[in-house]
Every structure is written in C-alpha cells, then in structure tokens.
Structure 1
Amino acid sequence: MTTSKTSESSAAAPLLDLQALVVTVRRRRRLWCAMTLLGLLAGAAVAVLMPPQPSAVTKVLVAHKEDQPNDTGTLIRTDVELLQTTRIADQALQALKSPEKPEDFMRDYRGTGLTNNVLQIDVTGDSDAEAVARAKALADAFVADHVRRMQETAEAEAKVLLDQRDRMREELAEVNKEIGDQSPSSDPKASAGIESLFSRRAELDSRIADFDQRAAEARTGTPKVIAGTQIVDAPRAVRHSLPKAAATNAAIGLVLGLVLGLALAAVGTVVADRPVLRRDIAANLGASVIAELPRRSGRLWQRRRTRTARERLTVSLARTMRGSTEPVSLLELGCARSASAIALNVARAVAADEPVVVIDGLPGPQLAKRRPKPGDPTVVSGEGVAAVSPQQRRFGVGSVAPGTAWTDLQYLGTQTVLVVRAGHGSAAWLHTVARQLADQRIPVIGVVLIDPDPRDRTDGTLWDGLHTALRGRSERLPRHNGTERPSWAMRVPDNDQEAR
C-alpha cells in the first residue's frame, strides 16, 4: 500500500512546485545579491571608464506649405529621414571642409521630431567645439536644402499654372479672331453663333485671371515658408554630469543584475532539483524529520532558542541510545561539522551513565583531529575499531555523501539517524540514500534537518514507517486499550487507517 500511495502522490504532484521554487530562490540570495552588486558596480564603472562622447544639440523650426492642425507628424518624420541622407551630410561636410565620408558622418548625428514643426539635431564629435561646429553646419545645410526644395516646388507649381494660362490666352486669341468685327444680327442662327463666341471669350478671360491669381499665390506662399524655417535654438555643447551618469548606469545595472540573478537562481533550482522543504526531504528519504537546527549560531537573540533545540535533540538521541539494544549511528549529508558536534554531545550525555565509544567514519578531520576536552568520549577510527570491546556501547558517525562505501555503514550501526542539510542533496541522491540503507537493512529512525528554511510551514512527519520511526519506539509493544490493536494504531486517522 505504501508503494501505491507513493506512486499516486508522485503522479498527482505538479511539474513545478512554486512554493519550493520560491523558498530555494530565497535561500540562494547570495547568488542574486552578488549579481545585483556586480551589476551595480559594472554600471558605475561603465559611466566612469567609458564616458559619453562630446556632443552638441540644436533645434530647427521647419515650416511646411502643407501644414495642417490635424497633422499626425508625417511631415516632420519626412524631415528626419531627409536629414539622414548623404546629400545633407555632404553639404555639411563641404561647409566644414572635412574630408570625412558622408556615410561615416551620418553615424555621428541623428534627428528627432519633437513636434510637427520642431526638429532636434544631436551631433557627436571629438571635442565640444567640433560637435558645435558640426551641429551648426548640419542645421544650416538642412535649412538651405529645405528652402531650396520649397522654392523649387513653388516655381514648378507656378510654371504649370502659367503654362495653362498661356494656353488659355492662345485659345482666347483664336476666339477673338473668329469674332472679329462681327456684331449680333437679325439672323437668329448667326446671332446664336456670335453669342456663343462671346460667352466662350468671357469664360476664357475668367480662367486666365484665375490662373494668374493662383500662380501669384503659389509664389507668395514661398517667402512665408522660407522665413518660417530657421534655427530657433543655437547649437550648444551638451554638458554631461559624471555623478548623474554613474547613478543612472548603476541603477540600470542593479536592476539588470537582480533580474539576471533571480533568473539564474530559478533555473538552477529547477535543474538541480534539490529539496529544501521538510515535506519533500521526508518524502524522499522515507523518514520523518525529528529535529531542526540552524547551520550557524545565528544572531544574539536566536542563540538561546538554538541552544534549547540542541539540548532537546541531545536528550532525545541519548534516551534512544540507552533504550536500544542495537547500535545507533549518525550519518550526515552535507553537514559533517554539525553531525560531529551532535555526536559528541550525545556521546557525552550517554557517557555519564555508561562507557561509550564514538566510531569515526567521517571522511574529514572533524572528529579525528579535534582536541579532546575533559569528559569527552573515546573516538576511534580505522584499525582502532577492532580493539573496541563488545561490552562497550558504540556510536558510529559516518557520511552518505557521494563516494560512500555503503557496505561499511552497517559496522557503524544497525539503525541510523540522518543529519541532512536542506538543499544540499538532489532528490535523486536522497532516493539513492534511502534505497542503499534499505538494502543494507539499516532502518532510518529519524532525520535531523540542518539549515532549514525559517518560513517553511510544511509537515515533515510521515504516517507510514511508524515501526521504525523514533516517535514510535515507545509504542512498539502492543498496548491493548480494550482491543487487539496497539495504542499508536488507535491514533491513526480513518483515512490513513484505511490506506494501511
């Protein structure tokens, strides 16, 4: 039933646990804080080491003959594109007497339409004086080109109108020639023809006068456009504030670094799949979490609580060792220093009642090279284990990190307590540890979680496995409370009772 329940829970588990993701990203705050600080420093360094080029700015008022109040900015966008042409660039370079190519010069300036009639020109140069000179030459070249185009357009429009007027005059001359000295006569047919000629002459006179007026208006509008197109803001160098640029770039770098750090932390969390919540660690190891300890002492106001938790764990494990006829071991994963400290505390508590020998199976020097204190238990390792008397109580301390000799764990103890650092081992490795201990027939009676998340509110207690759990050791012997079932079975909820 346990296998089926595990498979059902695995099938119902979401592909991405948001709670675990948030907790793990928060625990990896060193990464994204470091990325944020790096982005902040990089942004400030860019502002200091790569200052902006000297630049100048000028504004030109551009008048259009086709200006309309409801214009959406089409005309000024056209002017911006005309500014970015080799013709304008070449005229500006000729005024500057510069041998630079127009294509290269076009990369050093840009135009921006501020309103329908105001064009801003930004130019860079090797110095402020050169940038100002370039801006003036470019603005003059644009104004001259715009005025020339407006004049050519007006002249072309006036020429078309005058050509039509001249054709009307030629036709009028022919009509006048046909009329000659004729006058309306008594003949109705002749009178009708002469009247139509007179009507035609009057129409031509009117159209000729209209063409003259329109041609004059076309020429009259050009001076207004010419006078309206001018430089309204003289070219001036743009002053760059280093503190302001450094602050701006630092803020941008800070935001980018924070985003990149959070993204890397999230991706690393999903890829690594390292359980942090006590619920996930207990489920992967198949044993309940019996205690939690911080990795470090913590702040001053937290040390008392940490010390109380350590004392409570020491009393509980010491009581378990005294009441057990089988040797108990302590196996660590990612927290050898914490496991050795717990082992010494438990061994000191047990040594007050009976002799105890700590068997050091840790790969590091946490126990082997420590300085013994008065009252500390005997610590042996390697070949010294064979000299330990069978009458002495053994307390093994080892590791289940990658590279562990699994077959040697049974010599440390036939039942064990795992000391696991949250977020250290992957889910696959926790499964491997549980499977290897099961193959060695070493039951896990509890898990001590090191460096837990302080905001974790998940349940790290498993209902199944009570016959091996530390919390059920006092309930192994049946207590018939009026039934044939032990008392711990009476306390199991109905839904779990049916599952069992």
Structure 2
Amino acid sequence: MTTHTTPESPAAAPLLDLQALVVAVRRRRRLWCSMALLGLLVGAAMAVLMPPAPAAVTKVLVAHQEDQPNDTGTLIRTDVELLGTTRIAGKALQALGSPGNPEDFMQDYRGTGLTNNLLQIDVTGDSDAEAVARAKALADTFVADHVKRMRETAKAESKALLDQRDRMRNELDKVNKAIGDRSPESGPKASASIESLYARRAELNSRIADFDQRAEEARIGTPKLVAGTQIVDAPHAVRHSLPKAAVTNAVIGLVLGLVLGLAVAAVGAVVADRPVLRREIAANLGASVIAELRRVPRRPGGPWRRRRTRATHERLITTLARTVRGSTETVSLLELGCARTAGLIAVDLARALAADGPVVIVDGLPGPQLANCRRKPGDPEVIGGERAATVPRQARKLGVGSVAPGTAWTDLQYLGGQTVLVVRAGHGSAAWLHTVARQLADQRIPVIGVVLIDPDPRDRTDGTLWDGLHIALRGQSERLARQNGMGQLRTERPIWAARVPANDQEAR
C-alpha cells in the first residue's frame, strides 16, 4: 500500500502561478519579438511616409505689472490661455489678410510657458514661409493686445486715483472755507474746533499729494511694461531631421510593440491555460516525466547543438528500449503536438529493439509523418493501424499513435497495452491533458511515463509523481525484484506501516 501524494493540491494551488506565466511568455518570444519588430518598422515608416507639417517657432518676453519672484507661473499660464482665444486668432488672421475661421486657425498653433515671463509660440502651415508669417502675426498680435491691456489697466488705475484726488480736493475746499468763515472767538471750545479743522486740512493735503504720486507712478510704470513686452526670438522655421525622426519613431514603436506583445502573450497564456512546467504536465497527465528531448528542428543547427541533441536522443532511446524489453505487454508511443518527433523516436527505438528479434511498427498517426521519416535498408517494417491484428506473435509490436483532438480512443488499445506519452510542452491545454489521462484510464492503458519535448531550459520544477508505483518505471523494477525473490525494497512501505488506526485505543 502506498500513500497518495500530488505535487500540489487544488486547494493549495495559487490563483496565478507567476513562474508558469513567465515561462509561458518566454516561450512565446516569437510573438512579442515579432510585434516589437513590427512596431519598429511601423515607427520608421511613419517618419518617412508621414513627415511632420512645416512649422515655425517664436518666443515672446511678457512683462507683468504683478510680477513676483515667488510666482508659480500663474501669469504666464493666463497668457497662454489668452493666446488661444478667438480674439487673438481673429486679429492674426486679419493681419495676414486671410479669410480663415479663427476656430480652425486655433488648431494650428499652441503656446507654451517656458518661464514666468517667456512665452513660446509654435505654429504650423502649408509651407515654411506660411508658418513663419503666421508665427510673426500671432506674436505681433499678442504683444499689441498685451500692451493695450496694460495701458488700459494703467489708464483706469490712474483715472481712479485722480478721481479720488479730486474728491479730496473738494473736501479740502470745504475745510478751507470753514476755516475762513470762522470769526475770532475766545474760549476752549472754539480753539478745539479750529485745531480739528487745521488737522483735517493737513490730512487732506497729505492724501491729495499721495494720490498725485500714485497716479504719476501708474502712468510712469506703463512704458516700462510696454518696453519689456517684446519678441526676443524672431519667428523662424523649424528644421526636421529625417534620420533623427526615423530613429526616434522607431524606438518608440519598438517599445510600444514590445509592451503590447508581452501583454498579449501574458493574457494569451492565462486564457489558454497550456501547462509548460514539468510539475504541471505530470500532475495533469497523472504520470511522471521520465525523459526530455529538444524538438527536432526542421533546419539543422550548429555542430555543438546537433551533437548535444543527438546524445540526448540516444539516451532517450536507450531508456525506452530498456523499458520495452522489461515489459510483458506491448508498448506504444502516443504523441501530443509532436508527431514528427514521435515518428523519429519510434523508428530509432525499433532499430534498437531489432537486435533482439523482428520488430513491426504499427503506424497509427493521422498524418504521413512516420512514412516520411528517413528509412535505412533493413529498418523494421511499418504497417497501418488496420493491420495491427495481423502482426506475428514472434515479432515485437511497437505502436505509434496520437492523442490529439479527434483521436479514436477505442483504437489505442490495439497499439499497445502500455504507453509512453510523447508530449510537447505548452501544446495541450490543462483540460485536454485531463481528457487524455481519463480516456487512457477508461481504456485500461497504463501510462509508463511522459517524454517531454521542447521543455523550457530554465525549468527547475520536479516532474516526478510520488504515487502510482504500479505504472512508474521504478515500480516496474521493484516488481521485477519481488518476482526474483529479492524481497521487499526499502522504497516500499510495509503493510502494517501504511495502515491507519481506526481509533485511539487501537493506536495505543
């Protein structure tokens, strides 16, 4: 009796496995690399096919009466908003002699506050000359409007101060008349009244002088503001560098394409739910991963890569040949997502078994992958699945089939009583791997193990299930040891140790 232990129970399984997500995204590097390359090409093409419109720029120094050293840019932001009004746009169009619509013209320029007193005006046009003319008209119009507003403000302020001065003078005339109409009287009350009138006259004279000074300062300050508001950078066309624009757009397109590709790959990996890690594939199929092999490339790689792949392939064939020789039942290879690789493995495995006797390969693959494999003189015979029952008893039968969608499940038992699944990592969804395990269990076809094709090279998870010794390779070796009289192995728990006490009294 053995304990049943799964790699990860459903209750403890995380909602989102970041390790599996990273591996799935990395395996789809063709997708996001292609999208990054596409973004790079599109960005470079846009710089060539859609060049920017002719543009001009000018800078205006704007003086404000309320300028303060600690100003946070409120005044220049107000100027930017005033620049984008129909009044400024309409007057600029009048200066240009253009019958255009001010609302439409406002879409062709913008203002930017560089500092508290420096305004930049960017304008586009049909040509460089038109853009420069528009920029000059806008700058002149804005300066004239700003000067006019400053003068009107100073004039209104000066008028208010002078009006207040005139009211003070009228009051002063009344005080003077009251003082002149006084007859010389004696007594303390008359003296106090005269003193208050003189004090009031002195106060009025002081305030009148102050209003005169403030009105004069208001008039004097306006020329300074007018002189301070001027065009400091003459309107000029903006020169565009095509190589620089192409490189900039290409880099932006590359980054956007890469981000979009990674996002699509991540969302696709979560939605598709295709296991790529050893532990996930083993848990979903209910069988341990006994070997791994890189996918057979359609184009040969470098010498070192071919040598390493060939060595791994030879070790896999040796392991499978040892397993088939020690099995009392026929063994089949069932592929999922790697028919070509499974066909090559079957041919090489049959060649390795041919030294022990005649071998016949039963081809149950849906396509011509096995028929198209390179054959050598003396290779084992390949027959179709319909002739599986005609294989002589003295010949060893090696079945090759598929568990892809559309498989005739009842025909798998004619390929072999036991099977080795050859599964490509990331090909089948978790639901389909469960379906494969359930269908094989219904057909009473034990799964000896899983050969993982094209695994992730950075995968460090464990693909071994610590249950099911009746079908695992180590379980076969233990059964052979018991049959040979070697007794119970240390890896097997005794029956009394596996029994759970029914109650506390029995446990004592």
The question of a shared fold, defined as TM-score above 0.5 by the shorter chain, is answered with yes
Which residue number in structure 2 is paired with residue 111 of structure 1? 111
Give structure 1 stretches of 5+ with no counterpart. Answer: none
- Offset at residue 456 of structure 1 (A): 1.0
1:370–1:214 CA distance, 2 compared to 1 (3 A): closer
CA distance in 1 between partners of 2:313 and 2:375 (Å): 20
Task: Answer with 329-338 or 362-371: which moved more.
Answer: 362-371
Task: Answer with 297-306 or 356-365: which moved more.
Answer: 297-306
- Offset at residue 15 of structure 1 (A): 0.9
Look up the SS of the partner of 1:12 in the other structure: coil
Look up the SS of the partner of 2:362 in the other structure: strand
Which residue number in structure 1 is paired with residue 405 of structure 2? 402
Which residue number in structure 1 is paired with residue 459 of structure 2? 456
Which residue number in structure 2 is paired with residue 149 of structure 1? 149
Which residue number in structure 2 is paired with residue 35 of structure 1? 35
Which residue number in structure 1 is paired with residue 307 of structure 2? 304
1:266 is aligned to 2:239: no
- Offset at residue 335 of structure 1 (A): 0.3
Q: Is the 8 A contact 1:421 1:449 kept in 2?
A: yes
1:477–1:181 CA distance, 2 compared to 1 (3 A): closer
Q: Is the 8 A contact 2:291 2:451 kept in 1?
A: yes
Which residue number in structure 1 is paired with residue 94 of structure 2? 94
1:50–1:121 CA distance, 2 compared to 1 (3 A): same
1:375–1:139 CA distance, 2 compared to 1 (3 A): same
1:378 is aligned to 2:354: no
Q: Which amino acid aligns with 2:411?
A: D
Q: Is the 8 A contact 1:477 1:486 kept in 2?
A: no
Look up the SS of the partner of 2:246 in the other structure: helix
CA RMSD of superposed structures (Å): 2.5
1:348 is aligned to 2:348: no
Look up the SS of the partner of 1:368 in the other structure: coil
2:337 to 329, 334, 339: 334
CA distance in 1 between partners of 2:200 and 2:145 (Å): 44
Task: Answer with 463-472 or 74-83: which moved more.
Answer: 463-472
Moved over 6 A (4+): 1-4, 480-484
CA distance in 1 between partners of 2:123 and 2:157 (Å): 36
Task: Answer with 369-378 or 222-231: which moved more.
Answer: 369-378
1:424 to 427, 440, 445: 427
Which residue number in structure 1 is paired with residue 504 of structure 2? none
Give structure 2 stretches of 5+ with no counterpart. Answer: 502-508
- Offset at residue 299 of structure 1 (A): 3.6
Task: Answer with 1-10 or 218-227: which moved more.
Answer: 1-10
Q: Is the 8 A contact 1:480 1:486 kept in 2?
A: no
- Offset at residue 82 of structure 1 (A): 0.7
Look up the SS of the partner of 1:11 in the other structure: coil
1:308–1:263 CA distance, 2 compared to 1 (3 A): same
Question: 5 Å matches for 1:16-165?
Answer: 16-165=16-165
CA distance in 1 between partners of 2:177 and 2:198 (Å): 11
Q: Which amino acid aligns with 2:382?
A: V
1:318 to 306, 316, 321: 321
Task: Answer with 52-61 or 349-358: which moved more.
Answer: 349-358
CA distance in 2 between partners of 1:130 and 1:200 (Å): 66
- Offset at residue 295 of structure 1 (A): 0.5
Task: Answer with 375-384 or 350-359: which moved more.
Answer: 375-384
CA distance in 1 between partners of 2:78 and 2:464 (Å): 72
Task: Answer with 215-224 or 362-371: which moved more.
Answer: 362-371
Question: 5 Å matches for 1:201-212?
Answer: 201-212=201-212
Q: Is the 8 A contact 1:328 1:395 kept in 2?
A: yes
Q: Which amino acid aligns with 2:418?
A: Q
Q: Is the 8 A contact 1:478 1:487 kept in 2?
A: no
Q: Is the 8 A contact 1:329 1:397 kept in 2?
A: yes
Task: Answer with 470-479 or 67-76: which moved more.
Answer: 470-479
Q: Which amino acid aligns with 2:473?
A: L
Look up the SS of the partner of 2:444 in the other structure: coil
Look up the SS of the partner of 1:90 in the other structure: helix
2:438 to 435, 438, 452: 435
CA offset digits 1:417-437 (Å, max 9, x no partner): 000001001111111111100
- Offset at residue 4 of structure 1 (A): 7.0
- Offset at residue 183 of structure 1 (A): 6.4
Q: Which amino acid aligns with 1:101?
A: N
- Offset at residue 479 of structure 1 (A): 4.1
Which residue number in structure 1 is paired with residue 291 of structure 2? 291
CA distance in 1 between partners of 2:190 and 2:323 (Å): 141
Look up the SS of the partner of 1:258 in the other structure: helix
Q: Is the 8 A contact 1:20 1:275 kept in 2?
A: yes
- Offset at residue 304 of structure 1 (A): 2.1
Q: Is the 8 A contact 2:294 2:309 kept in 1?
A: yes
- Offset at residue 487 of structure 1 (A): 4.3
Look up the SS of the partner of 1:9 in the other structure: coil
Q: Across the two proteins, how many residue pairs are aligned to each other?
A: 497
CA offset digits 1:382-427 (Å, max 9, x no partner): 4433432233211110000000000000000000000000100111
Q: Is the 8 A contact 2:2 2:493 kept in 1?
A: no
- Offset at residue 483 of structure 1 (A): 10
CA offset digits 1:186-245 (Å, max 9, x no partner): 343333323322222222222111111111111111010001000000000000111111
Look up the SS of the partner of 2:476 in the other structure: helix
Which residue number in structure 1 is paired with residue 396 of structure 2? 393
- Offset at residue 325 of structure 1 (A): 2.4
Which residue number in structure 2 is paired with residue 221 of structure 1? 221
CA offset digits 1:248-306 (Å, max 9, x no partner): 11111111111111111111111111111111111111111111110035542232222
Q: Which amino acid aligns with 1:126?
A: D
CA offset digits 1:33-79 (Å, max 9, x no partner): 00110111111111111111111000000001111111111111111
